[in-house]
Amino acid sequence: MFEGFTRRRIDTGEVTINCVHGGQGPAVLLLHGYPQNLAEWAHVAPRLVDAGFTVVCADLRGYGDSDKPACAPDHATYSFRAMAADQARLMAALGHERFAVAGHDRGARTAHRLALDWSDRVSHLAVLDIVPTYDMYDRVTKRLAQTYWQWYFLPAKAPLPERMIGADPDFFYESCLASVGGIGLQDFDPELLADYRRCWRPPEAISAWCSDYRAGASIDLEHDAADLHRKLEMPVLALWGAEGIMQTLFDIRALWEARCTRLSTATAPGGHWFPEQAPAETAKALITHFRRQA
């Protein structure tokens, strides 16, 4: 996995972030989703390197092999603002003061906040298979709640979700993979799935991921509400699964047009997990976007 890449753990101030990096050329940061880690990009990152980019794949705070600090009462420890700051500092430590960023799922929400809080650092943004977090809570429907029930279960007061997930982490997280992706476990690369299992089993990871969603339902909404008037000025790509659930629940293009001045959109084959199921198409869309004039 990630042959030819260098693996490092870098102290960013508050936490140490795990990453892999490789290639030569303009810098690109790739951020994974839930319940995954940087291994999600194992079949996409080499294609970007071959296209002439320096690629950094990082574990979010609380995920993979990055630090998992105890959460503060106000949930700020796992806010997207905190996660975004980690990644900006990681890229600076690697010598990349300006870079493009693409994120999938929770990584896309972190990337969106990174583009808002560190706009002078981000040359291009790509958000994969999401709508803004604020809209996920502001536009709740019966079907949305039934599909994305984790958004209401995971923020429950500790230790309720931690205890329930901890009883059988593999069953819980594998059920999440199947429920929103529309595919079976047999469709995942066995090496990637094994690494996901390794990383989601520890109790501190389970707690961190619940804390991530608690922040998403509280302090992140406060941060997002304060920025509703702002539009991102860098090129933004909204990329989603052509057969995914998200595009049946929202007008993805319209919601991102309200947040950006230079939006482009595209679809990739498959559902929510298309970076793993369609890595060639995902990489092609990202390469096209990152080559747009900033």
Q: Which of 16, 58, 14 is nearest to 33 (CA)?
A: 58
Q: Is 138 a catalytic residue?
A: no
Alpha-carbon span 217 to 197, nearest angstrom: 26
Burial 227-257 (b: 16+ CB within 10 A, else e): beeeebebbbbbbbbebbbbbebbebeebbe
Q: 50-53, long-range: CB within 8 Å, 24+ apart, which pairs?
A: 51/283, 51/287, 52/23, 52/24, 52/25, 52/26, 53/23, 53/25, 53/26, 53/27, 53/28, 53/287, 53/290
CA 4 from chain centre, in angstroms, equals 23
Q: Which of 127, 128, 104 is nearest to 115 (CA)?
A: 127
The 8-class DSSP code of residue 59 comes to P
Helices 219-226 and 106-117 meet at what angle, rounded to 10?
40
Spot the catalytic one: 43, 104, 272, 289. Answer: 272
Spot the catalytic one: 59, 105, 129, 195. Answer: 105
Q: Is 21 a catalytic residue?
A: no
* Residues identified as active-site: 105, 272
